[in-house]
Structure 1
Amino acid sequence: MAKLYFYYASMNAGKSTNLLQADFNYRERGMRTMLFTAALDDRFAAGTITSRIGLSAAATTFDAATDIAACVLAQPNPACVLVDEAQFLNAAQVDQLARLADTHGIPVLAYGLRTDFQGRLFEGSARLLALADALIEIKSVCACGRKATMNLRVDADGRPVAEGAQTEIGGNDLYVALCRRHFVEALRT
């Protein structure tokens, strides 16, 4: 029975690296995969999933209007669907992913952030937390050595940012993965 998996973590935990490794494992066995990534994340190259350790692969981009199930079902014999930046899915798209697993027997591996820079759930993450058959946390480390679970947004001078749009695309230049204690302390200063 196929399942919907949600692999979640803070920034810089290796989510894209894990996704690309899973993709490699399927393809090494001669299986066809479909990769998706958010159209708004163009930090490296549009339509590409890129990890910080240098791995990358072409992917189909999605935005709020993308019918992911239709894209998948238009392809011959997909063995697995892998979604990067899954926090940017909307609830209807997560429902589509669940149907791909339940009705069509296609495993779906979704990778993304659980919460934003204010500690609030993203729409896609909230729906994945509600529907996924398996929730897998990928561990990251705070500077203190504890598990990092939060994403602190910082400005150009490294100062914490507490207000603003939920989505601002960036990497180490805009976000720092912290444990909850240090996240809360940083926002108090």
Structure 2
Amino acid sequence: MSKLYFRYAAMNAGKSTNLLQAAYNYEERGMRVRLFTAALDNRTGVGVIGSRLGLQRQVETFGPETEFSLEGLGEGIACVLIDEAQFLTHEQVQQLHRLAHRGGPPVLCYGLRSDFRGAAFPGSAALLTLADDLEEMKTICACARKASMNLRVDGEGRRVKEGEQVVIGGNERYRAVCPSCFYAEDDDEVPAPGLFG
């Protein structure tokens, strides 16, 4: 029986690279896959999964109106892979869980667990509740500890503590940090990428 998987991590842990590698592994063996990313993520172009290593692939997009069903999936699909899964709705996660358990292929979702305030994204909360298999992917903070949180920064590198949950951006907007750095009271202590202290 298939399962719903959730691979989560802070920013820059290699989630997209891992997803693209999984798709390649299936396709190298002659199997068909369906890949999706959030329509609102335009960092490397709409409908493009891109990794910091330079790997890119044009894929299908999902938005709040997208429905995931066995009938809509098509015949002979060996796996469904979803990037930016934090942007799924609770209903979509339920659909994917149902799909995996009602004769569909395995569904592998990759995304962030929490936002820049330490709050869960709706899709992530649903995945943490329903996924049959959870795996935390690891990355490191600038202080060399395990990073499990995300900080949002402004154009000058200062921490942003308030605002909308979703602001699309990469290294220019976000830093993956450990909990100690996340809870540092001094905004000037935001760890810069690549610096160890």
TM-score using structure 1 length: 0.96
Q: What CA RMSD, in Å, does the superposition of the two structures yield over aligned residues?
A: 1.3
Letter in 2 for 1:151: N
Please give the alpha-carbon distance, in whole angstroms, between the structure 2 residues aligned to 1:2 and 1:134: 11
Contact 1:9–1:138 (CA under 8 A) maintained in structure 2: yes
Structure 1 residues without counterparts, runs of 5 or longer: none
* Alignment of structure 1 residues 19-168 onto 2, 5 Å: 19-69=19-69, 72-73=72-73, 75-168=74-167
CA shift for structure 1 position 76 = 2.1
Moved over 3 A (4+): 186-189
Residue of structure 2 in register with 1:2 after alignment: 2
Please give the alpha-carbon distance, in whole angstroms, between the structure 2 residues aligned to 1:175 and 1:62: 23
Letter in 1 for 2:31: M
CA shift for structure 1 position 187 = 6.3
Match of 1:79, SS state, is strand
Contact 2:68–2:99 (CA under 8 A) maintained in structure 1: no
CA shift for structure 1 position 18 = 0.3
Match of 1:40, SS state, is coil
CA shift for structure 1 position 146 = 0.7
TM-score using structure 2 length: 0.92
Larger relative helix fraction: 1
CA shift for structure 1 position 69 = 2.2
Match of 1:12, SS state, is coil
CA shift for structure 1 position 58 = 1.7
Identity, % of aligned positions: 59
Give per-residue Cα distances to partners, 1:91-114, cap 9 Å, x unaligned.
Answer: 000011101110023100000000
Contact 1:160–1:186 (CA under 8 A) maintained in structure 2: no
Report the number of matched residues: 188
Please give the alpha-carbon distance, in whole angstroms, between the structure 2 residues aligned to 1:69 and 1:164: 34
Match of 2:125, SS state, is helix
Moved more, 1-10 or 50-59: 50-59
Structure 2 residues without counterparts, runs of 5 or longer: 189-197
